[in-house]
C-alpha cells in the first residue's frame, strides 16, 4: 500500500487547503520552515546557535540535501520553492 503522501490528489489538497489554513493561524515570526524535518541515527550533531535550535530538524533537512553535491564554484544555482 502506498503512503498517503505519495498520492497527487493528497499533495494538491495539502497545498491548496492545509498550508494556507495553518499559516494563517500562526504568527509570521513563528513560521520559519514549513516542510518535513530530518534526523539520522546517530544524530547529525550540526552545531547551531541557541536561536536556531528550535528549528534543528528542518535545518538538518536542508543540510542533508545541500551536502549531497558540491555547491562550490558558482556553477550550480539553488532555488528553494515553497
pLDDT in tens, 4-53: 767 788 888 887 888 788 777 776 666 777 777 888 888 888 999 999 99
- Cell representation of residue 56: 534543528
How far, CA to CA in Å, does 38 sit from each of 4, 34, 73, 79? Answer: 19, 13, 27, 19
The predicted structure's pLDDT at residue 50:
94
The predicted structure's pLDDT at residue 48:
93
Residue 82's contacts (CB-CB under 8 Å, 6 or more residues apart) are 34, 35
Pick the more confident residue, 49 or 76: 49
With beta carbons less than 8 A apart as the criterion, state whether 38 and 57 touch: yes
Average pLDDT of the segment spanning 50-57: 90
Amino acid at each position: 500500500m502506498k503512503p498517503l503522501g505519495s498520492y497527487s490528489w493528497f499533495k494538491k489538497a495539502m497545498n491548496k487547503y492545509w498550508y494556507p489554513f495553518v499559516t494563517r493561524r500562526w504568527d509570521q515570526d513563528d513560521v520559519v520552515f514549513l516542510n518535513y524535518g530530518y534526523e539520522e541515527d546517530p544524530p547529525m550533531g550540526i552545531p547551531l546557535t541557541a536561536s536556531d535550535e528550535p528549528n534543528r530538524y528542518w535545518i538538518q533537512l536542508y543540510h542533508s540535501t545541500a551536502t549531497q553535491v558540491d555547491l562550490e564554484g558558482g556553477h550550480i544555482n539553488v532555488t528553494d520553492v515553497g
